[in-house]
């Protein structure tokens, strides 16, 4: 092996996929691109890294809610464009030709053109590390998407697209959460049912 600059180590384990996070502050919708995301719990809970440098953060902190929208590979230019302009002076839905849709439980809009949307409430903000912890309370998936591959940011201005799916559901059955276990136990040639346009909802936390 050869030495690698430590300052570039984050590019070796960049998470994914890149997501779009929508907020609504009063009468204004906004979108920000977030590439640092993670799943925290099966319940489901998620974490994103953001802070005051993002215009949307003020609305996120004030309203304590947002939508995580998952774009696909053919939306790369929109994803980059959204992440390189500010909602302070730009209507990003209009500029990038995206369609806001009402959510079921939050005021922040879904994005019609995205593969999936997860309505979330903020349950914690870890200020020391600029981490926002979110609880998913409703999920929506596209009924018949033209593209399913998602984007993963390397961190140096390049992106990787999802490739071939490798099936190890049978071997992983003991580690798969109960809600997905029936899919894990199916023969590899049998696909798990794809959720339709109806949302999967979860009641608000206490």
pLDDT at residue 15, as a whole number: 66
Q: In the chain, what percentage of residues exceed pLDDT 70?
A: 85
- Average pLDDT, integer, range 87-93: 95
pLDDT at residue 109, as a whole number: 97
Contact between 34 and 18 under an 8 Å Cβ cutoff? The reply is yes
Per-residue exposure over 151-186, b if at least 16 CB sit within 10 Å of its own CB, e if not: bbbebeeebeeeeeeeeebeeeeeeeeeeeeeebee
Q: Could you tell me which of 115, 65, 57 has the C-alpha nearest to residue 87?
A: 57
Which of 6-10, 184-188, 198-202 is the most confident on average? Answer: 6-10
Does residue 17 or residue 178 have the better pLDDT? 17
- Average pLDDT, integer, range 75-102: 96
CA distances from 107 to 79, 102, 190, 197 (A): 22, 7, 38, 19
Residue found by looking up tokens 């992983």 in the block? 172
Which structural domains are found in the chain, ordered by start? 6-165 (2.30.110.10)
Q: In the chain, what percentage of residues exceed pLDDT 90?
A: 66
- Average pLDDT, integer, range 64-87: 96
Binned at pLDDT 50, 70 and 90, residue 195 comes out as very low
Q: Could you tell me which of 19, 157, 27, 140 has the C-alpha nearest to residue 91?
A: 27
Q: What pTM does this model have?
A: 0.83
């Amino acid at each position: 092996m050869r030495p690698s600059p430590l300052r570039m180590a984050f590019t070796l384990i960049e998470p994914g996929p890149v997501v779009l996070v929508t907020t609504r502050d009063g009468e204004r919708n906004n979108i920000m691109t977030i590439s640092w995301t993670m799943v925290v719990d099966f319940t489901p809970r998620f974490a994103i890294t953001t802070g005051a440098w993002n215009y949307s953060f003020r609305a996120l902190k004030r309203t304590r809610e947002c939508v995580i929208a998952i774009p696909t590979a053919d939306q790369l230019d929109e994803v980059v464009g959204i992440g390189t302009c500010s909602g302070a002076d730009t209507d990003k839905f209009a500029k990038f030709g995206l369609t806001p849709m009402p959510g079921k439980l939050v005021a922040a809009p879904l994005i019609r053109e995205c593969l999936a949307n997860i309505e979330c409430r903020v349950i914690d903000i870890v200020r020391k590390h600029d981490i926002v912890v979110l609880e998913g309370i409703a999920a929506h998936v596209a009924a018949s998407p033209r593209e399913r591959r998602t984007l993963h940011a390397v961190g140096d201005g390049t992106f990787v697209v999802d490739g071939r799916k490798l099936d190890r559901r049978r071997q992983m059955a003991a580690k798969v959460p109960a809600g997905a276990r029936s899919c894990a136990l199916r023969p590899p040639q049998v696909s798990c049912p794809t959720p339709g346009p109806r949302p999967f909802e979860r009641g608000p936390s206490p």
